[in-house]
Amino acid sequence: MTEDNPKIAPMHRVTVALSVETAGGDGRETPAATFYTFILGVASGGMSPFEYALLDRAPGEVVALNISPENRHQVFEHLDSALDFLGPSFPPLRLRVEVTAVAPAAPREIVQAMASASGCGCGCGCGCG
């Protein structure tokens, strides 16, 4: 791994561009990509299948995933907010995920991401989400 071409590893800040192809794989995509940034590997239950699919990838590399409302949470787990741009209901689709940036995360970013991934959700102001 070089500084010019870092590869995704646990505790790295990763930015991906998400776009949609039709389930038939005819190459049609949504007109504009949605960008999503997260810290890889911070959930208490380990990495999600989505994170595993990105492991050891570098900026410019692309992964395609088949997604439906039924498997959304199983594939993305704690990161399923990445798919909010699709709305609550969508047809089965092929998601194009392009890695756009990778960098080691700062300790503060890691702590914030861990709190968010395992947040209590009670609105207590602890910063967990």
Q: How many domains does the chain have?
A: 1
Domain membership of residue 50 (yes or no) is yes
Q: What domain range is 53 assigned to? A: 1-33+44-101
Identify which of 80, 93, 25, 85 has the alpha carbon closest to the alpha carbon of residue 49: 80
Tens of pLDDT, residue by residue over 36-45, are 999 999 988 8
49 close to 78: Cβ distance less than 8 angstroms: no
CB neighbour list of residue 100: distance below 8 Å, 6 or more residues apart: 15, 16, 17, 35, 59
Domain membership of residue 39 (yes or no) is no
Domain membership of residue 29 (yes or no) is yes
Tens of pLDDT, residue by residue over 43-94, are 888 899 999 999 999 999 999 999 999 999 999 998 989 999 888 888 888 9
Domain membership of residue 28 (yes or no) is yes
Domain membership of residue 115 (yes or no) is no
Domain membership of residue 110 (yes or no) is no
Q: Hey, is 19 helix, strand or coil?
A: strand
The reported pTM is: 0.80
pLDDT band at 5 (very low <50, low <70, confident <90, very high): confident
Domain membership of residue 111 (yes or no) is no
55 close to 9: Cβ distance less than 8 angstroms: yes
Rounded to an integer, what distance in angstroms lies between the CA atom of residue 16 and that of residue 81? 13
